[in-house]
């Protein structure tokens, strides 16, 4: 193994080095937060003490066909979601949809991205390995942009 692969990247104190896994995890987290905001909204007035009302699961399930409402996002979670969503602008424009499709699969609980299943949504008939490589380059591009911004700051 070459020494260049094991070399630690010098990072200024207080700054963050974004690895591929870090960026991918934040994008997956942002997707999961996005799902919570879309289906986790309360459908009634917000001017009363509704946060004090607690329904038990069995009571809810017995009387409603709807799933139990999810807890809304905190301000910190909302900020993290918006920050990670903004990172998509750092990826090449032609690969943004691919990144969203792959991150959606990972956020849904898959261990690996089903690249063959993404061929049709991407308008392709073959080339699943090519999609995997494009995704890798797009996320690496986001990492490079974030790390460059960190070193500038």
DSSP state of 118: G
Please indicate whether residue 74 or residue 1 has the higher confidence score (pLDDT).
74
- Provide the residue ranges of all domains of the chain, joining segments of one domain with +: 27-152
CA-to-CA dists, residue 81 to 18, 39, 123, 130, angstroms: 16, 15, 28, 28
Residue 81 has pLDDT above 60, yes or no: yes
Mean pLDDT rounded to a whole number for the chain: 78
Task: Tell me the mean pLDDT in the region 55-78.
Answer: 64
> Angle between the 128-152 and 96-107 helix axes, to the nearest 10 degrees?
100
**CB distance 68 to 57 below 8 Å:** yes
Residue 16 has pLDDT above 50, yes or no: yes
Please indicate whether residue 54 or residue 43 has the higher confidence score (pLDDT).
54
Residue 3 has pLDDT above 80, yes or no: no
Q: Looking at residue 106, what is its pLDDT?
A: 95
- Return the structure tokens found at 97: 């949809």
- Return the structure tokens found at 90: 């750092």
Give the span between the Cα atoms of 12 and 62, in whole angstroms: 56
CA R_g for the chain: 20
Residue 48 has pLDDT above 50, yes or no: no
| Percent of the chain with pLDDT strictly greater than 90 | 56
Q: What is the separation of C-alpha 59 from the centre of its chain, rounded to a whole number of angstroms?
A: 33
Please indicate whether residue 67 or residue 55 has the higher confidence score (pLDDT).
67
Least confident of 47-56, 77-86, 119-128, 141-150: 47-56
């Amino acid at each position: 193994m070459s020494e260049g692969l094991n070399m630690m990247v010098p990072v200024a104190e207080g700054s963050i080095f974004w690895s591929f896994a870090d960026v991918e995890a934040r994008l997956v987290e942002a997707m999961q937060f996005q799902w919570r905001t879309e289906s986790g909204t309360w459908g009634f007035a917000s001017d009363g003490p509704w946060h004090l009302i607690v329904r038990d699961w069995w009571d809810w399930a017995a009387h409603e066909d709807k799933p139990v409402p999810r807890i809304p996002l905190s301000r910190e979670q909302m900020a993290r979601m918006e920050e990670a969503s903004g990172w998509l602008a750092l990826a090449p424009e032609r690969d943004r949809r691919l990144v969203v499709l792959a991150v959606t699969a990972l956020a849904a609980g898959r261990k690996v991205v089903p690249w063959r299943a993404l061929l049709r949504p991407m308008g392709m008939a073959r080339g699943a390995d090519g999609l995997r490589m494009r995704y890798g380059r797009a996320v690496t591009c986001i990492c490079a942009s974030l790390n460059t911004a960190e070193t500038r700051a």
